[in-house]
Amino acid sequence: MTDDPSLSIDRALRQELEGWRRAGLSHLPMPPRKRTATTPASAKPVAMRTPTGASSASRTTLKSVTAPAVSMTHALPVVSEPLPPSPHSAGSREDREWRLNQLRQRVAACTRCQELASARTQTVFGVGNPEARFLFIGEAPGADEDAQGEPFVGAAGKLLDKIIVACGMKREDIYICNILRCRPPGNRKPLPEEAGNCREWLDGQIAVIDPDFIVCWGATAAQNLLGSEESIGRLRGRSFQHGRANVLCTYHPSYLLRNPAAKKDVWEDMKLFLKQAGLPVPA
Ligand code: SF4
């Protein structure tokens, strides 16, 4: 995590604005002159969200502490025009596939992160069952994903497949996507600005899939989805809420490849996930 207070401020404002957007606010009227806002130097994003996605604790900290001025224009999340009306019955499989395809086309043309857009082979949108109860979220495409256009297809993806099978599930039971849809150079961690740029696409996919459960694989997924700065070690083993979805967090399969001893922790997390999902829990 960064120690740069301006990035914490940026993240806190993005969370607040995202909450407003989810509550139905489509735009913020801006005065003709440049505005500034004050935010805390050490805003503590919270790990729990209200059903609307708004973070009550971040709202409190934003009101209560004074800090360096930040350009509101810079902090505003990027939001596209709403999707056109679907020609299919709302919530049907055809409707979900149609809306995901609309989002996929927008993502394919997205150049919000210029460094990533100029270096990518292709965007990596997401894959899986549009009616899945379970949504898995990872960090960002790696080299294999960038080449093939699908998330989790490299060594980490193969390990994820083994975990899915060990849980008695199939990939077809799940929808899988990432915080970012373009590969960061050298597989570096996504920057907060990049995660903010890509949040609209993630939110769009979550809205279409409307999952019962979300599993965040790794710190980047957990911290960005939940708006938390807690470590993945502290976030795992706990339940969170995002909209109507129950959220669990665990280590990323890439971490398990480097630290096989952590597999037992992931297995404990998977057993908790299966139990909460009402699925058989292997002994
Ligand atoms: S990472 Fe996301 S927001 Fe950034 S260019 Fe790719 S699709 Fe667009």
Q: What is the CATH number of the domain that holds 271?
A: 3.40.470.10
- Ligand 1 centroid–CA 19 distance in Å is 21
Whole-number Å distance, alpha carbon 206 to ligand 1 midpoint, is: 16
Q: Which DSSP symbol is given to 212?
A: S
Per-residue model confidence (pLDDT) at position 79: 75
> Are 20 and 155 in the same domain?
no
Q: Do 127 and 37 reside in the same domain of the chain? A: no
Q: Same structural domain for residues 40 and 121? A: no
Distance (Å, whole) CA 239 – CA 214: 10
Q: Indicate whether 150 and 232 sit together in one domain.
A: yes
Of 44-58, 90-104, 234-248, the poorest mean pLDDT is in 44-58
Residue 27 domain boundaries: 5-74
**Do 243 and 162 fall within a single domain?**
yes
Q: Is the pLDDT of residue 160 over 70?
A: yes
Tell me the pLDDT of the chain averaged across its residues. 82
Question: Does the Cβ of 228 fall within 6 Å of ligand 1?
Answer: no
User: Is residue 124 within 6 Å of ligand 1 at its C-beta?
Assistant: no
Task: Using the Cα atoms of residue 221, residue 189, residue 123 and residue 266 in order, give the sign of their dihedral.
Answer: negative
Taking residues 219-238, report their average pLDDT. Answer: 98
Task: Using a pLDDT cut of 70, give the percent of the chain over it.
Answer: 72
pLDDT tens-digit readout, 71-80: 333 334 567 8
pLDDT attached to residue 15: 59
Whether ligand 1 lies within 6 angstroms of the CB of 194 is answered as: yes
Band of pLDDT at residue 18, cut at 50, 70 and 90? low
- The reported pLDDT for the residue numbered 2 is 43
Whether 61 and 158 map to the same domain: the answer is no
Based on the fold, state whether residues 63 and 162 are members of the same structural domain: no
Residue nearest to atom 3 of ligand 1 (CA): 198
- Ligand 1 atom nearest residue 116's Cα: 5
Query: How far is the centre of ligand 1, averaged over its atoms, from the C-alpha of 112 (Å)?
Result: 6
The beta strand positions in the chain, using DSSP E, are: 36-38, 69-71, 127-128, 134-138, 174-178, 213-217, 240-242, 245-250
pTM given for the model = 0.76
Point out the ligand 1 atom lying closest to the alpha carbon of residue 111.
Answer: 5
Alpha carbon nearest to ligand 1 atom 8, residue:
110
Is residue 10 pLDDT above 90, yes or no? Answer: no
Give the per-residue pLDDT at 206: 98
- 257 and 135, same domain (yes or no): yes
Q: Are residues 51 and 148 in the same domain?
A: no
**Number of structural domains in the chain:** 2
The answer, yes or no, to whether any atom of ligand 1 lies below 6 A from the CB of 205, is no
Ligand 1: distance of its center to the CA of 111 in Å? Answer: 6
- CA 172/CA 67 separation, integer angstroms: 47
Find tokens 């939110």 and name the residue. 203
Is residue 106 within 6 Å of ligand 1 at its C-beta? Answer: no
Percentage of the chain beyond pLDDT 90 is 71
